[in-house]
Amino acid sequence: MSQQNIQKDEEVDLGNLFKAIGKGFQNLFKAIGQFFMSLFNLLILALVFIRNNSIKLGLAIVLGAIVGFILDFNNPKQFSSTMIVEHNFNSAQQLYKNIEFYNELVKQKDSVLLAEALDITVSEAVKLKGFYINPIRNENEKYELFDKFVNEVDTATVSRIDFKEFKQGFTDYDYKYHQIKVKSLSNSIFDKLSTPIVNSVESNPYFNNQKKINDQNLLQNEKVLVKSLSEVDTLRNIYNEVLITEAKKAETGTNITLAQGSKKTNELELFSESLKLNKDLISNNKAKAETTDILNVVSSFSKVGVKESSLFKKNTFLLGIGFGLLMLFFILFRQLNKYLKNYKN
């Protein structure tokens, strides 16, 4: 009898548990439904508000757009051009500082110092309206640099740094290519700016010293590789002569003095070493070509600039949106004020 009572108690407990779970799910779905219903009601209220005040909001936007159009029409036209460079010897940071310096001179309207820095006339410097620089971001570069980092450092250091940590320490200066943008009221000044900007970095004594050391190392490495390759080729020629001599001895019945297996092994080792030296020489020549200059100009400024015509930067768009928002806030303020008066009464 007691066992039957225990079974009944267990059934009651399970029934209560399932009821609690069912009620919990029911409340959850009810809360979700109420949330979406609230969003729907809010959307309806917003649409009703816009419909009731569409004329006021529309007039404000049109008025702002007209004022902005007049300002855009009277403002002098701006032109822009871009230059893409590749930096060597960690010179990107110096390049960024130089571009920021030019832009600061534009902001301060110091046309005399800007003209002196860029080797142009003061009248040309007055027309310059901005200097900007940004990296050309490429995620593959991070993987390539991390692979290079792993190959250059010791195993203990690699075990402490993973790619995630390496990626966090990656800055804009570490990207290979960078885009420089200049804005001006004149569309014929841009081709005069490439050389001064590049020279501002290449004239730095530190980078010149780094380039000089790099050139010497590459030249010395080339001499060693060429000499080693010549020696390997000489050894290969000697082995070929030995092979020919032994082949002739075999034809005349003379015993072969060198072990056949050892001979083939030496041949393969010399051939592999020759291939490796050739690859190293190609890599060395590639490094020489890439580091010929401190800054490699991939794409220079165009002779004629492009007219700046971004819709979102025009006064027509900005003032249209601005006047519309002001009218919106004004209407909301009036309705809030009216509600507070009615609430007080």
Go through the chain and tell me how many residues it has: 345
> 78-87, 96-105, 311-320 — which is least confidently predicted?
311-320
Percent of the chain at pLDDT > 70 equals 82
> 42-51, 169-178, 200-209, 248-257 — which is least confidently predicted?
248-257
53 vs 248, which has greater pLDDT?
Answer: 53
Give the pLDDT mean for 34-48.
Answer: 88
CA geometry: angle 255, 259, 261, nearest 5 deg: 140
Residues 221-278 have pLDDT tens digits of 889 888 888 888 888 777 777 777 777 776 665 554 545 555 555 667 777 888 888 8
Residue 79 to residue 283: CA distance in whole angstroms: 41
Sign of CA dihedral 34, 38, 43, 49: positive
> 29-33, 118-122, 245-249, 329-333 — which is least confidently predicted?
245-249
pLDDT at 2: 53
pLDDT higher than 70, residue 9: no
Residues 127-185 have pLDDT tens digits of 999 999 999 888 777 777 777 766 666 565 555 666 677 666 678 888 889 999 999 99
Residue 93 to residue 262: CA distance in whole angstroms: 56
**Taking each helix axis from N to C terminus, what angle separates 205-252 and 260-290, rounded to the nearest 10 degrees?**
160
Give the pLDDT mean for 191-196.
Answer: 92
pLDDT higher than 60, residue 194: yes
pLDDT at 258: 47
pTM: 0.66
Q: Residue 53: is it exposed, middle or buried by C-beta count within 10 angstroms (0-12/13-18/19+)?
A: middle
What average pLDDT is seen over the chain? Answer: 82
pLDDT at 132: 94
pLDDT at 264: 56
Q: How confident is the model at residue 4 (pLDDT cuts 50, 70, 90)?
A: low
Q: How confident is the model at residue 21 (pLDDT cuts 50, 70, 90)?
A: confident
For tokens 């943008």, the residue is 181
